[in-house]
């Protein structure tokens, strides 16, 4: 129970990688605040799983494009578990795939408001409640470092998450006593993966086939275990890093 009684906010925690992270941190003893947009039944299912395992959790609907959401999330966490937030996992994101010639201002705003502005201001809102030894983990992507068609806005937004990790580690380490890192999954077997456009599948399959650790799509637990380590005390000397959680598909 390495995270016993720690309070962890996991954004986008109702499904996919976020749900796996929420369940794993709860297994290690953390109290979970997970956010979701929709559907609420998936969030309720994750909360039920966590509570059945003996930890506590709440689910909170929050629109990442709404500038009031960070304050709303922090208020709910404080009300539920007291005035301390130990862990923030910035997992929520959108990955709408468009060729550059099809990109619009609306598309750009959706991706950057969700994937960049929202986590930035969530961490800012949490600062006053983060104890020394706190942890921030940003979920990036191999797309941040590799060129993928149809990923102009998404890849740039994930590169921002890695940049945040370095900047915040340098800026916040001494003052707040926290570590900040990123993880960069490749293809993972989630509903987002299942929605991959048909014309992108052949290239993705080749990418999977040459993944060094094994020629397969990643599993949610492959990523959740890496995130859990970065949330524990034993990761205290790791900060400002992007930790690979992609089977070697992207070397850092």
The sheet with strand 179-185 has its strands ordered as 57-61, 31-36, 7-10, 87-90, 135-139, 179-185, 242-245
Number of structural domains the chain divides into: 1
Please indicate, yes or no, if residue 147 is contained in any of the structural domains.
Answer: yes
Please indicate, yes or no, if residue 1 is contained in any of the structural domains.
Answer: no
Please indicate, yes or no, if residue 252 is contained in any of the structural domains.
Answer: no
pLDDT in tens, 129-162: 999 999 999 999 999 999 888 899 999 999 999 9
* Separation of alpha carbons 90 and 82, rounded Å: 21
Please indicate, yes or no, if residue 58 is contained in any of the structural domains.
Answer: yes
Please indicate, yes or no, if residue 250 is contained in any of the structural domains.
Answer: no
**What's residue 197's pLDDT?**
62
Tokens describing residue 99: 């060729």
- pTM equals 0.94
Tokens describing residue 238: 């790791």
pLDDT in tens, 75-124: 999 999 999 999 999 999 998 889 999 999 999 999 999 999 999 999 99
Tokens describing residue 107: 């598309």
Mean pLDDT of 156-177: 98
Q: Is 124 among the catalytic positions? A: no
Please indicate, yes or no, if residue 251 is contained in any of the structural domains.
Answer: no
Which residues span the domain enclosing 53? Answer: 7-244
Catalytic member of 14, 55, 69, 141: 141
* Separation of alpha carbons 108 and 216, rounded Å: 31
Catalytic member of 158, 176, 235, 241: 158
Task: Count other C-beta atoms under 10 Å from residue 100's C-beta.
Answer: 10
Q: Is 113 among the catalytic positions? A: no
Catalytic member of 14, 31, 154, 241: 154
Please indicate, yes or no, if residue 76 is contained in any of the structural domains.
Answer: yes
Please indicate, yes or no, if residue 185 is contained in any of the structural domains.
Answer: yes
Catalytic member of 140, 157, 235, 241: 140
Tokens describing residue 200: 């992108």
Say which residue the tokens 């750009």 belong to: 108
Q: Is 158 among the catalytic positions? A: yes
CATH of the domain at 88: 3.40.50.720
Q: Is 141 among the catalytic positions? A: yes
């Amino acid at each position: 129970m390495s995270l016993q009684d720690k309070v962890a906010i996991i954004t986008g925690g109702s499904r996919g990688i976020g749900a796996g992270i929420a369940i794993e941190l709860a297994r290690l003893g953390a109290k979970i605040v997970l956010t979701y947009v929709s559907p609420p039944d998936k969030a309720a299912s994750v909360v039920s799983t966590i509570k059945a395992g003996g930890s506590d959790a709440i689910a909170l609907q929050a629109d990442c494009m709404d500038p009031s959401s960070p304050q709303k999330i922090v208020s709910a966490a404080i009300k539920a578990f007291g005035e301390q937030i130990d862990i923030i996992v910035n997992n929520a994101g959108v990955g709408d795939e468009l060729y550059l010639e099809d990109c619009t201002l609306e598309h750009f705003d959706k991706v950057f408001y969700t994937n960049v502005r929202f986590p930035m201001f969530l961490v800012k809102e949490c600062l006053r409640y983060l104890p020394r030894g706190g942890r921030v983990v940003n979920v990036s992507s191999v797309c941040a470092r590799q060129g993928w068609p149809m990923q102009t806005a998404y890849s740039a937004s994930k590169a921002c998450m890695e940049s945040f990790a370095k900047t915040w580690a340098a800026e916040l380490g001494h003052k707040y006593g926290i570590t900040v890192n990123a993880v960069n999954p490749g293809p993972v077997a989630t509903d987002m993966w299942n929605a991959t456009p048909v014309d992108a599948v052949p290239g993705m399959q080749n990418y999977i086939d040459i993944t060094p650790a094994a020629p397969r799509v990643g599993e949610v637990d492959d990523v959740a275990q890496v995130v859990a380590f970065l949330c524990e005390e034993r990761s205290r000397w790791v900060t400002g890093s992007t930790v690979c959680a992609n089977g070697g598909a992207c070397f850092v």
